[in-house]
Amino acid sequence: MAAVQCVKCGKAGEPITDPLFMGRLESEIKANVCKSCWREWEGMKVMVINEYQVNLGEESGRELVKKHMRAFLKLGEAVDSSKLQDNYKPV
């Protein structure tokens, strides 16, 4: 499979081959984000859910996570993530 030019890291990287179950957004992500950056997002997603105490059972909670995902992957407008950065501690 051909490499994907990632908008997050700016490098050509390995494409995402696993299903993401993201509906219409999945094709945009797979066309513009490398597998490495997607893995970074998966770790960040846990932080977003925990720090903002997101209820994924509600549409507003899912939309908040999606908004942060698009900002993190540089697929949409930036969001205020200072709450995450203040509490981020690399492993």
State the pLDDT at residue 55.
96
pLDDT (tens digit, 9 = 90+) per residue, 26-66? 999 999 999 999 999 999 999 999 999 999 999 999 999 99
Instruction: List beta partners, residue 20.
Output: none
Q: What is the CATH number of the domain that holds 42?
A: 1.10.3880.10
| Residue numbers of the domain that contains 47 | 4-87
pLDDT at 13 over 60: yes
In this structure, how many other beta carbons lie within 10 angstroms of the beta carbon of residue 38?
Answer: 21
Distance between CA atoms of residues 34 and 53, nearest Å? 28
CA 53 to chain centre: 17
CA distances, 32 to each of 5, 10, 28, 38, 54 (Å): 6, 10, 6, 10, 26
pTM: 0.84
State the pLDDT at residue 91.
47
Distance between CA atoms of residues 41 and 59, nearest Å? 20
Tally of domains in the chain: 1
